[in-house]
Amino acid sequence: MLELNVNLGERSYPIFIAPGVMHNELQLKKFIGDCRPVIVTNDTISPLYLETFKSKINHLSPLTFILPDGEQFKTLSSFEKINAFLLQNNCGRDTCLVALGGGVIGDLTGFVAACYQRGVPFIQVPTTLLSQVDSSVGGKTAVNHPLGKNMIGAFYQPSAVFIDTNSLSTLASREFSAGMAEVIKYGLIYDTELFLYIENNVDSLKSLNKTAIQHIIQRCCQIKADIVALDEKESGIRALLNLGHTFGHAIEAQMGYGVWLHGEAVAAGIVMACKLAKLRGNLLDTDVNRVIKLLSSFDLPIAAPDEMSYKDFISHMKKDKKNLKGTIRFILPIEFGRCALESDVTEQQLKALF
């Protein structure tokens, strides 16, 4: 079992990465303690893992709340339903929420944990590649609003993260590809060796080779842990983790949450960011083509939806959380392995993407 740490002083916590780690009874007991666990999951994950997971903590009389699966359920309505369930079951501050699922479940459960009785502990048990390499680490919690993705939420760190690589064996291929968009993102913003590793191991990754999978998860989690330790609340360097997200969030909001998976929208957004960087003289055609080829090898979209116009993108991007004093700010590659937050992108440069 690999163990990493997110170093945040009194809010520090471990990340455990291993096959079968979600069933590690000793570690689960350590981090749930004497709290009453409430497992939040969805109707895709519950038939696969819920009963086995519960069996490890049955002595604590766990409760379960099951949501429908999908980004369209990451809403204030779902947030309210979970809170009502906790109140109806007389859950106090000695409650520990357990997020058993992908990014939607993790973000939503974390937001409930941040707010219920002004804060109760929670642990992350991510079951998708995207949540394992990105959303389960770092304490970003939120729900979506029809006008913008993740616009209502809080920074609230988990007590621990249990990344069970066995759960990827039941993951749909489309969901796996969506996760790879985030992995590729890490290579572009921070680690050219990771990008090269992905290029050289496409087939191994797609076949879920255990060594390859564990390597990319460990590397992405380490990068994110290092960045979060430096900038927990995204006032500086952490914003670079949003490469492709300014465009990607616009796609998700415009098309309807769940129509495009988050990672699919991010993939298209990464290509748009790279093309914009090329227009600004920072990347070469060969660099952009290399990114497109790698994203395509995982069957990811490499262009925005045909039905989205320049005005559609601008309308959504004006609500982006990185904006400052009304100026849209973009994360753009400067070179492979290095990005920057840019606020001087011109209207002419943006329109050239369409």
In this structure, are strands 148-155 and 140-145 parallel, antiparallel, or unpaired? antiparallel
Catalytic residue status for 347: no
269 is in an annotated binding site: no
Given the residues 56, 185, 215, 238, the one annotated as active site: 238
245 an active-site residue? yes
Which of 249, 275, 278, 316 is flagged as catalytic?
249
Residue 41 annotated as binding site = no
User: Which residue of the set 234, 264, 278, 282 is catalytic?
Assistant: 234
Question: Among this protein's residues, is 234 annotated catalytic?
Answer: yes
Report whether 203 belongs to an annotated binding site: no
Query: Known binder of ligand: residue 104?
Result: yes
To the question of whether residue 107 is assigned a binding role by annotation, the answer is yes
Catalytic one among 54, 56, 175, 182? 182
Residue partners of 19: CB distance under 8 A and separation at least 6: 164, 165, 166, 210
74 is in an annotated binding site: yes
Choosing from 54, 219, 245, 329, the catalytic residue is 245
Question: b/e map of 78-93 (b: 16 or more CB within 10 Å)?
Answer: bbeebeebbeeeebee
Q: How far apart are CA 6 and CA 24, in angstroms?
A: 20
Among the listed residues 140, 219, 275, 329, the single catalytic one is 140
Is 36 one of the annotated active-site residues of the chain?
no
Beta pairing class for 13-18 and 2-6: antiparallel
Contacts of 112 by beta carbon, 8 Å cutoff, 6+ apart: 40, 79, 82, 83, 86, 97
Active site residue 54: no
Q: Which of 54, 262, 275, 329 is catalytic?
A: 262
Measured between alpha carbons, how far is 329 from 59 in angstroms, rounded to an integer?
Answer: 50
Is 342 assigned a ligand-binding role in the annotation?
A: no
Examine the residue annotation and report whether 118 is marked as an active-site residue of this protein: yes
Q: Point out the catalytic residue in the list 42, 144, 242, 282.
A: 242
Residue 69 annotated as lining a ligand binding site:
yes
- 73 marked as part of a ligand binding site: yes
Annotation-wise, does 128 bind a ligand?
Answer: yes
140 labeled part of a ligand binding site? yes
CA distances from 289 to 182, 264, 295, 296, 342 (A): 18, 18, 10, 10, 22
Catalytic residue list contains 262: yes
Q: Which one of the listed residues 215, 224, 278, 329 is annotated catalytic?
A: 224
Active site residue 215: no
Q: How far apart are CA 44 and CA 38, in angstroms?
A: 18
Instruction: Confirm whether 242 is a catalytic residue.
Output: yes
Q: Is 149 annotated as a binding residue?
A: yes
319 counts as catalytic: no
Question: Nearest-CA neighbor of 100 among 27, 174, 37?
Answer: 37
What angle is formed at CA 7 by the lines to CA 156 and CA 134, rounded to 5 degrees? 60
The answer on whether 211 is annotated among ligand-binding residues is: no
105 assigned to a ligand binding site: yes
Is 262 part of any known ligand binding site?
yes
Q: Supply 91's token pair.
A: 């859950």
Residues within the annotated binding site for Zn(2+)?
182, 245, 262
Residues within the annotated binding site?
69-74, 103-107, 127-128, 140, 149, 182, 245, 262
Residues within the annotated binding site for NAD(+)?
69-74, 103-107, 127-128, 140, 149
Residues labelled as active-site residues = 118, 140, 182, 224, 234, 238, 242, 245, 249, 262
